[in-house]
Amino acid sequence: MNIVDTVEKDLIVVPVKSSDKEGVLNELVERLCEVKHFSKPGIVEAVLEREALGSTAIGNGVAVPHCKTDLVTGVNLVIGISQRMIAYDNNEVRIFFLVVANENESTSHVKLLSSIARFCSSAVLRNLLASSKTPEEVYLTINN
């Protein structure tokens, strides 16, 4: 399982409307629940519980919030791009990869997170994502 196989246009939010960390996480979870018909409150709680263990900002304007929960099926990826930097713990972030996976999908969950980490190691790809104006542009950047 990798980012190319997992990305869905409906699960790309460009631009995110919120201007703070918790707002962005809520917004991305909301999109996930709208598209996949999951239950929002429990998922937000699971994401925030994971954030309490340690920041998911990884540098270079990227955050990879993630969690596992029985409230979803499969492994789900929501991508958010902000037009401005958002304060995220001690970092500033514009690119968000939210990964929410079922408790029984750890192997695929790890594979997807690894794929995201490799993708984000490229400054060119990060810059392309950060400058994307539409979900279509994000989708094409990831698929090329």
Partner 1 sequence: MLFKNILVYVDNSESAIEAAMYAIILAQETGANLSVLYVVDTKSVSDLYKAHIFVDIERVDYERDLEKDADKYIRHIRKMALKKSLNIVTEIIKGNAPVEVDKFIKANSIDLLVLPKVSNIRSRREELTSDLDRILRTSKVPVLVVRADEEIWDRFDEGI
Binding of partner 1 by 113 (CB under 8 A) = yes
| Separation of alpha carbons 38 and 29, rounded Å | 9
User: Does residue number 59 form part of the binding site for partner 1 (CB under 8 A)?
Assistant: yes
Nearer to partner 1, 19 or 106 (CB): 106
Q: Do 51 and 62 contact (CB within 8 A), yes or no?
A: no
The reply to whether omega before 65 is within 30° of 0 (cis) is: no
Judged by CB under 8 A, the residue of 19, 39, 107, 134 near partner 1 is 107
Which of 45, 102, 111, 137 is in the footprint of partner 1 by CB under 8 A?
A: 111
Q: Which is nearer to partner 1, 20 or 49 (CB)?
A: 49
**Of residues 114, 133, 136, 140, which one binds partner 1 by CB under 8 A?**
114
Q: Residue 132: CB partners within 8 Å, gap ≥ 6? A: 14, 81, 138, 141
Task: State in angstroms the smallest separation of the CB of 92 from partner 1.
Answer: 15
- The site for partner 1 (CB under 8 A) is made up of 2-5, 53-59, 64, 66, 106-111, 113-119, 142-144
